């Protein structure tokens, strides 16, 4: 049954990274339940799987953004005028969103790490549930993202490092409260995750190099593949859920899970 434990961890990471239910909280819970010694290595690989999932789903968008970025850099280098368009605005918004996230994580990383316990995770789940319920009740709006709204979503992403707080849910809710179109806010939330998942994987990878653990290569492969496949499925599911205003489903799930944890832990 060893392979099954690796499969479940990959499944949990893949689904919860993009659904608004907190991947970090679920990984801690399932990792503790399975009593796995190499949880850090598994976490790194699982993050890589979800990173490749979002890269796969948004490969065309990312290709367009990279082309636009290098085109703009070339124009600046040759002192030509840079014409503003949607793609230029999007990659600039991603920069404005990533910067506050990095600053918050760097300043409060030790506090975030020390706060990972069942009690904190339960409260984080409940906060996420409330935010999702309120967001579903908010009337729709159709504003476009700008630097200010992107930066605020970046702050929300930084705060989502707290245990039990959903990254995708918090950033989406922040966008909705700022009046950003819900589909644009969700797509941007997924794109925002790329540099953060990558940075998280590198950070954990450095820690892993300093403190190596025994490696089950088949198990690691299972974690990567399952997190990649279920990451893609969760992105597709989330796009449909937000389109149909069904975020409250996840609120009920988080409230139920919190009650279970309070009773048994």
Tens place of pLDDT per residue across the chain (265 aa):
678 888 988 898 899 989 999 887 887 777 666 666 666 677 788 889 999 999 999 999 999 999 999 999 998 888 888 788 889 999 999 999 999 999 998 888 777 777 777 788 888 999 999 988 888 777 777 788 999 999 999 999 999 888 888 889 999 999 998 989 888 999 999 999 999 888 887 877 787 777 776 677 888 899 999 999 999 999 999 998 888 878 888 999 999 999 988 887 7
DSSP bridge partners of 182: none
217-229 residues labelled b (16+ CB within 10 A) or e (exposed): eebbebbbbbbbe
Q: Point out which residues pair with 180 in neighbouring strands.
A: 143
| 0.85 surpassed by pTM | yes
User: What is the C-alpha to C-alpha distance for residues 154 and 196, in angstroms, rounded to an integer?
Assistant: 10
Structural domains of the chain, count: 1
Q: Which helix (H) or strand (E) holds 86?
A: helix 86-114
Measured distance CA(61)–CA(212) in Å, rounded: 37
What SS3 state is found at 159?
Answer: helix
What is the tally of helices (H) and strands (E) in the chain? 11, 0
DSSP 161: T
Cα gap 253→256, rounded to integer Å: 5
What is the per-residue pLDDT across 18-65, written as a single tens digit (0 to 9) for each? 999 988 788 777 766 666 666 667 778 888 999 999 999 999 999 999
* 3-state class (DSSP) for residue 54: helix
Alpha helices for 115-216 (secondary structure H): 118-137, 147-159, 167-177, 182-210
* Per-position b or e across 107-124, b if 16+ CB within 10 A of its CB: eeeeebeebeebebbbbb
Range of 74's domain? 2-264
Measure the CA dihedral 129/132/133/137, to 10°: 170
What is the per-residue pLDDT for 36? 61
Amino acid 104: pLDDT = 92
């Amino acid at each position: 049954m060893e392979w099954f434990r690796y499969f479940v961890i990959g499944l949990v990471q893949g689904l919860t990274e993009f659904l608004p239910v907190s991947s970090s909280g679920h990984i801690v819970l399932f990792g503790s339940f399975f009593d796995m010694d190499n949880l850090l290595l598994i976490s790194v690989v699982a993050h890589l799987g979800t990173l490749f999932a979002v890269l796969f789903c948004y490969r065309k968008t990312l290709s367009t953004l990279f082309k636009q970025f290098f085109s703009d850099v070339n124009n600046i280098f040759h002192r030509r005028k840079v014409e503003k368009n949607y793609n230029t605005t999007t990659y600039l918004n991603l920069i404005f969103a990533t910067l506050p996230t990095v600053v918050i994580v760097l300043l409060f990383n030790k506090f975030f790490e020390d706060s990972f316990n069942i009690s904190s995770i339960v409260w984080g789940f409940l906060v996420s549930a409330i935010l999702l319920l309120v967001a579903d009740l908010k009337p729709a709006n159709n504003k476009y993202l700008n630097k200010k709204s992107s930066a605020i979503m970046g702050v929300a992403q930084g705060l989502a490092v707290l245990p039990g707080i959903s990254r995708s849910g918090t950033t989406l809710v922040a966008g909705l409260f700022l009046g950003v179109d819900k589909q644009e806010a969700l797509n941007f939330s997924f794109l925002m995750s790329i540099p953060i998942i990558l940075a998280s994987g590198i950070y954990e990878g450095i820690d892993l190099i300093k403190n190596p653990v025994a490696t089950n290569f088949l198990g690691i492969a299972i974690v990567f593949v399952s997190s990649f496949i279920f990451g893609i499925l969760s992105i597709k599911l989330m796009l449909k859920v937000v389109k149909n205003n069904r975020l409250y489903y996840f609120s009920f799930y988080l409230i139920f899970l919190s009650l279970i944890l309070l009773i048994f832990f």
